[in-house]
Amino acid sequence: MPERKNIHFFYRKGTQLQDKIDRLKNIAIDYGFNLVDHFRDANIIASIGGDGTFLQAVRKTGFLEDVLYVGVSTGQLGFYCDFDIDDISGMLDAMLNEQIEVRRYPTIKVQIDKDSSFYCLNECSIRSGIIKTLSLDLYIDDLFFERFKGDGMVISTPTGSTAYNKSLNGSIVDPMLSCMQISEVASINNNHYRTLGSSFILSSARALEIRMVDDGNTSPIIGMDNEALSIRNNEFIRIELSGKRIKTVKLKDNSFWHKVKRSFL
Ligand code: NAD
């Protein structure tokens, strides 16, 4: 990556790992990188922490498409973290010997009513904020699909399919496919209420619209990856695959399916 020289380190301040982070910064300088304080000046944003920190790094820097995000793990290797802070020589070896590849991960765009929209890299979740079921009408494009009653719904990207979605028995989706998956959280299914009951996958050409049903509970919590937003009396949430892709680096022998095998089998 000879042309990418400005690097910004994203991590939780006050972390006990400051010594290791300082060492990593010094090595980056020795190898000709410029450390920049503001992510706007960076070509590379290095997240130091776990998958949760990587999700925050992408969110707090605004889902930039013209930077390369690098996940450096401080514990177990995660799904977004290919590098280990305790193996700096391995990291340098991989970079210098061209053992890395760039991959682009799909994101979803979530629009709430007409006024606000945001992106998600793992998933958008809509959950009841109180101990009462949530009623939601689901439309696929213009087709009224089902009325959902239960705890909530999770709409995940392919890379997010191994996170919250997996706990809901959703499928694991190859990130080379541009699609989103919709999974139910504890739907009520009986002679009064009926939902599909299984997860389903929509192509990039489709949109999902979720309309709030005024059933005494119209204040759900919206989860955007690992951040929460409370909404009140909103009418609809429209979710579709965005054109925005997050560029990250991966080790050549560490594909998505290597990670799935390493993590779950
Ligand atoms: P974190 O780094 O503590 O993550 C928690 C765990 O989720 C870690 O083991 C992490 O490696 C794993 N993880 C995160 N993204 C993943 C992915 N794409 N594929 C596989 N594993 C992944 O940080 P956090 O802030 O707590 O994590 C946020 C994520 O936690 C959310 O985006 C959501 O997917 C997930 N979550 C899961 C559940 C559940 O499974 N019941 C509930 C709420 C949130």
Task: Supply the pLDDT for residue 93.
Answer: 76
Q: Give me the long-range contacts of 10-13 (CB less than 8 A, separation at least 24).
A: 10/39, 10/45, 10/46, 10/47, 10/48, 10/53, 10/56, 10/57, 10/60, 10/61, 11/47, 11/48, 11/49, 11/53, 12/49, 12/53
Q: What is the mean pLDDT of residues 98-102?
A: 83
pLDDT of residue 3: 61
pTM of the model: 0.95
Confidence of residue 104 (pLDDT cuts 50, 70, 90): very high
Ligand 1 contacts CB of residue 129 (under 6 A): no
Residue 50 Cα to ligand 1 midpoint, Å, equals 9
- In the chain, which residue ranges form alpha helices assigned H by DSSP? 18-30, 51-60, 88-96, 164-167, 256-264
Q: Which atom of ligand 1 is nearest to the CA of 54?
A: 2
Distance in angstroms (rounded) separating the CA atoms of residues 41 and 35: 9
- State whether the Cα torsion 228-232-238-244 is positive or negative: negative
**Does residue 261 come out as left (phi exceeding 0), alpha (psi in the -120 to 50 range) or beta?**
alpha
> Which residue owns the Cα nearest ligand 1 atom 17?
163
Question: For residue 252, what pLDDT is reported?
Answer: 84
Q: Which residue has the higher pLDDT, 31 or 176?
A: 176
Q: Is 163 in the pocket of ligand 1 (CB under 6 A)?
A: yes
pLDDT of 91 reads 81
Q: Is 151 in the pocket of ligand 1 (CB under 6 A)?
A: no
What is the residue-averaged pLDDT of the chain? 93
Over pLDDT 90: what percentage of the chain?
77
Kindly state the average pLDDT of the residues 195-208: 98
Task: Give the active site residue among 19, 22, 51, 87.
Answer: 51
Picking from 69-73, 150-154, 228-232, 235-239, which range would have the lowest pLDDT averaged per residue?
Answer: 228-232
Predicted local distance difference test score (pLDDT) of residue 189: 97
Q: Which domains does the chain have, with CATH numbers?
A: 6-98 (3.40.50.10330), 107-243 (2.60.200.30)
Mean pLDDT throughout 163-183? 97
Can 174 be counted among the known catalytic residues? no
Cα 163 to middle of ligand 1, angstroms: 5
Task: Assign 115 a pLDDT band (cuts: 50, 70, 90).
Answer: confident
Q: What is the pLDDT of residue 232?
A: 82
- At residue 1, does pLDDT exceed 70? no
Please tell me the distance from the alpha carbon of residue 244 to that of residue 73, in angstroms, as a whole number: 24
pLDDT in tens, 54-98: 999 999 999 999 999 999 999 888 899 999 999 888 887 777 777
pLDDT in tens, 127-137: 998 999 999 99
The pLDDT value recorded for residue 219 is: 82
